[in-house]
């Protein structure tokens, strides 16, 4: 009865076909619950070996190794990196607001550019919502929230991009639109400005083909952690 209840609760949150490890762990415990220690360890070892051979385990190992490689490469490149004093995000809305929130929370001034004022309102609303949650949890004071929001500058034009150090593209997930936006902004920023794309499905190499200096400017980043994926 206890095991059936445990399976029901766990499988409701972790489908065994997608997350086999919890199911294998319960199965092992159920098999060895009345066995002596040495026999129980044998059952656990067999379950562990079974889990280690799943495609999910292989993917997680690959993810860990790639994460370590990215951190190593990032550390090497950071030695030659220049300071980032101002950022910009192209495309407001939920994604742009989240990126602006991340930058502003770290003390970095950021310009949020869009072609529609309604999208800018949506982006500022998203940033305000995220900061409001921090105030609710006691991790930020209302005064600090106001100070953080003031670092986000919404705009409908490129007028203030001349001194920007990094531009993060977060427009609609359409390759032609992204290429056009990146090509346009490349001609408006300084030569050492980093151009970044928040794409999750489009080849960063394909997007870079539209640029004059792709080898030095375009990277792919995560919107929540500013982690470089590849360049």
Q: What are the residue ranges spanned by the domains of the chain?
A: 2-74, 82-220
pLDDT at 223 over 50: no
Cα separation, 226 vs 219, in Å, equals 11
pLDDT band per the 50, 70, 90 thresholds, residue 221: low
CATH class of 82-220: alpha beta
Question: For a pLDDT cut of 90, what percent of the chain falls above it?
Answer: 63
At residue 58, the pLDDT reads 92
Please state, in angstroms and rounded to a whole number, the distance separating the CA atoms of residues 100 and 87. Answer: 9
Q: Mention every residue, 6+ apart, whose C-beta is less than 8 A from residue 94.
A: 122, 123, 126
Reported as a single tens digit per residue, the pLDDT across 167-180 is 999 999 899 999 99
Over range 177-188, report the average pLDDT. Answer: 92
- The pLDDT, as a whole number, for residue 160 is 83
Tell me the mean pLDDT in the region 41-59: 93
Helix axes 2-13, 20-32, angle to 10 degrees: 170
């Amino acid at each position: 009865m206890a095991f059936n209840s445990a399976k029901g609760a766990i499988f409701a949150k972790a489908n065994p076909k997608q997350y086999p490890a919890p199911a294998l762990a319960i199965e092992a415990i159920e098999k060895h619950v009345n066995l002596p220690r040495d026999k129980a360890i044998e059952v656990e070892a067999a379950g562990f070996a079974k889990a280690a051979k799943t495609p999910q385990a292989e993917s997680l190992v690959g993810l860990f190794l790639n994460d370590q490689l990215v951190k190593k490469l990032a550390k090497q490149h950071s030695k030659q990196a220049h300071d980032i004093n101002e950022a910009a995000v192209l495309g407001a809305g939920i994604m742009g607001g989240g990126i602006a929130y991340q930058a502003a929370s770290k003390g970095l001034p950021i310009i949020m550019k869009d072609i529609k004022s309604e999208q800018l309102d949506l982006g500022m609303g998203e940033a305000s919502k995220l900061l409001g949650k921090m105030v609710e949890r006691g991790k930020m004071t209302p005064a600090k929230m106001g100070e953080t929001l003031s670092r986000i500058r919404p705009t409908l034009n490129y007028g203030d991009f001349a001194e920007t150090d990094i531009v993060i593209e977060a427009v609609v997930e359409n390759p032609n639109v992204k290429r056009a936006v990146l090509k346009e902004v490349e001609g408006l920023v300084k030569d050492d400005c980093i151009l970044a794309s928040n794409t999750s499905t489009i080849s960063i190499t394909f997007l870079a083909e539209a640029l004059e200096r792709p080898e030095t400017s375009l990277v792919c980043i995560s919107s929540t952690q500013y982690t470089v994926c590849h360049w």
